[in-house]
Amino acid sequence: MCAKRKESENKKQLIFSNEFYSDLETDDMLYAVLIRSPVSAATLISISHPNLPEGYRIFSAEDIIGKKTITTLDEKTPVFCMNEIRYIGEPLGILVGKDEKLLRELLNDVEIRYEERMSAPKRLLAERIIQVGEDVDQAFQSPDIADITEETWSAQIRPNSCTEPTGAFCFFREGLLHVFTPSQWLSHLRKSLSDVTGIEIKKIIITRTQFSELDTNMLWINSLIATQVAISAIKTGKPVKLVLSRAEQQQFIENTAPVTITHKTAINKAGEITAADVSITVDGGAYNPFAHEFIDRLCIASCNIYCPKSVRISGKVYSSEKPPYSVDLATIDSHAIYAMESQLQKIAEKTDFSPLELRQINNCTNGNRTHLMPFFLNCENIEETLQAVSHSSDFNRKYVSYHLNEKSHYLQNNNSPFAPPLRGAGLACGFSGSGYNGTAFFRTNPSLEVTLTADGKVQIHALPPSPSVWSIWRTIAANILKTEKSKIILNSNFETEKEPEAPETIHSNISIMTLLLESACESLRRKKDSSVLPLTIKKTLSNSRKTAWDREHFSGFPFKATAFGACVVDVELDPCTYRENLRGIWVVVDAGKIFSAKAAESSVKAAIQQTLRELVEDDTVRCDNIRVQFIQSTSEPKQIGDIVYSLLPAAFAMALSQALAITITRLPIQNDTLYKLSQKAKHLFDKQRALEQTEKSEKSEKESAEKQEQTDDPAQNQQEASE
């Protein structure tokens, strides 16, 4: 559908479209490309072009009508660089014209004048310190300690996406600004547009087009791009469209923040974690509005479901001269869970405890360990889930068998095509929290309305959910109200002042909005026979759920709902090519009440396939044997698909570590990582064997020398003879 037809639609201020903004076009439309900084630290003087054709123009900070920055959670970001350049690729201006191909050519000739400056020192963007129990340093000196393990883990898993890059299509006519873009944060987009253009909020018409990305940069950089395009449309008086290139999308939108976590862990003879010292460092990039939420979520997940008796967690986010880094808020916990689960595996390798035993001993539901941490994850059926995944995958037998063969890997000729494959099994468990109570988004409580009309139709007033969630909602409403699914319709019309403040990804959360829907439908069922139609029931998230988390003391229940799961990966490596072959993936999830088992299984399997594309850089790991199982439960429904990101990366890395007989400490791996690690492992093994042989030889020589001394001693000989 072209923009002209869109313009003739009913003058709503918010429209939801199933189209892609990049497909929209008009006869007089202009294209746009961003002019980006070639350096990371400089003072901008000017940008110009020596010979722009007629109809082609450059706009910069000087052309902005209103505010020259947008505000995201108290962080101000320039629409275009005004003076100080902070990172390579920072937008300095925008070039517009009617020929998209020519624009790319003209972009190469843009003259950027600047004065280079010294790199700015790193700024501390956010920090969180947590201490529980007795002094950690003293705890590590306890005589009860049986083993201390220390390791550093790094993760920077990038989404492997081939979806439409972000951008916007804008035009300004009859005093109204029309914006077509795949925004996930509509209130932020509308306010940013109004601030930068000076146009009243009620005169901004937003059409939310198709979107699929879920990371934080899509939330706010999308608004930034829309303001840049809107300025161009207003200045030229023509429709303008900007679509980021695939390279720009990867560099500035899908650039996951690197996370480094150092664990120092002590266990006693019973296998209990008695002390844990965790240090988390995150590179936030030049700007990062979500730095505080990043580090808080990582700190909460840093010990996963385990409860050390004494723990110190230090989390910090620093700025850098890199583009703003991003994180998917739904899967940010996975970085910390990967590190903690891998740490447990390393402990298991050094002790007599199996990976399963360590998890059973230390989880937060095991006896008196329940209340050792300041926050409660409220995970249920941990023991049942662990037992189920271990049984279905035959993990214990595989782990022990592979472990027995692990030490003989490098005694064999593994380069032979006839050599047996190297095998490993990895077990990981973890949680997926939904509806984070500490988020800055919830200034108002999420709500949902259900209306029963006089003709028997049921309107659910909410932002459009995903197709699978919408199918569940229709089933719930139809079952409670005893009506046909065809009579359940979605109403996504919002008055501007009632537009949800939080991003769509939060308001579309199944575990929050589904509970509100159930409650609204139950109230509607009780009142419909005694009320005049139409009848509307509105349900809002109760304050008790919000106050369950104490922000000041960083304690309580951090999530409104928490799913728990466990995963086993069985892998083998070809000894010649060092290519991984996944023999099987087993996942067991406790996600509360399951409304549609088929949809839930499809969601988990889709997440598995997506994650497999992200574990090896520029490659895809494949697995044909995937088994998914759910723990039967009648508790509140939890988010399902995101749990895979907390489980699969850790289980995959641990399985490879066992197969190689050396620990993988960084994800994602590269194509040559396995070969390099195998060579390192062989070198360490040969070195250790040589050391053992030297010690054995020295011991033998010493014994021989002592025996010879005894033989040469006359007194000793005489005594022996008399005896």
How high does pLDDT run on average in the chain?
88
Given this model, what pLDDT does residue 407 score?
59
The pTM for the full model equals 0.89
Q: Token digits for 48?
A: 């110009």
Confidence of residue 72 (pLDDT cuts 50, 70, 90): very high
How would residue 6 be classed by pLDDT, with cut points 50, 70 and 90?
very low
What are 323-355's pLDDT values in tens digits?
A: 999 988 878 899 999 999 999 999 999 998 999
Q: Rounded to the nearest 5°, which phi and psi values hold at 393? A: -95, -10
Question: Is the pLDDT reported for residue 686 higher than 70?
Answer: no
Confidence label for 2 from pLDDT (cuts 50, 70 and 90): very low
Measured CA to CA, the distance from residue 236 to residue 70 in angstroms comes to 22
Please tell me the predicted confidence (pLDDT) of residue 414: 55
Residue pair 77/69 in contact by the 8 Å Cβ criterion: yes
CA distance 537 to 644: 35
In this structure, are residues 551 and 440 in contact, taking their beta carbons and an 8 Å threshold?
Answer: no
Confidence bin at 593 (pLDDT 50/70/90): confident
Q: Which pLDDT band, with edges at 50, 70 and 90, does 271 fall under?
A: very high
Whether the bond between 420 and the residue before it is cis, its omega within 30 degrees of 0, is: no
Ranking 489-503, 525-539, 578-592, 670-684 by mean pLDDT, the lowest is: 670-684
| Residue 99 clears pLDDT 80, i.e. is over it | yes
- Residues of the chain with pLDDT > 90, as a percent, come to 62
How confident is the model over 195-224, as a mean pLDDT?
A: 91
Mean pLDDT in residue range 200-217 = 87
DSSP 465-482: --HHHHHHHHHHHHHHHT
Q: Are 84 and 45 in contact (CB under 8 A)?
A: no
Weakest mean pLDDT among 131-135, 160-164, 416-420: 416-420
Residue 75, pLDDT score: 93
Task: Specify the pLDDT at position 3.
Answer: 44
The answer to whether residue 321 scores a pLDDT higher than 50 is yes
The stretch 370-395 carries a mean pLDDT of 88
Mean pLDDT of 120-142: 93
Residue 409 has pLDDT above 80, yes or no: no
pLDDT of 468 > 80? The answer is: no
Which one is predicted more confidently, 605 or 694?
605
Highest mean pLDDT among 281-295, 456-470, 522-536, 674-688: 281-295
Whole-number pLDDT of residue 714 = 58
Mean pLDDT of the 419-440 span: 87
**Model confidence at 4: pLDDT above 70:** no
Parallel/antiparallel/unpaired status of strands 310-319 and 422-436 = unpaired
The dihedral over CA atoms of 504, 510, 516, 519, expressed in degrees to the nearest 10, equals: 160
Which single residue is written with the structure tokens 């018409």?
205
Supply the pLDDT for residue 215: 79
Which positions ≥6 away from 709 have C-beta within 8 Å? none
What is the reported pLDDT for 1?
41
Q: State residue 411's pLDDT score.
A: 56
Residues contacting 546, CB < 8 A, separation 6+: 437, 442, 445
Query: If DSSP codes are grouped into helix, strand and coil, which group holds residue 722?
Result: helix
State the DSSP string of 557-574.
--EEEEEEEEEEEEEEE-
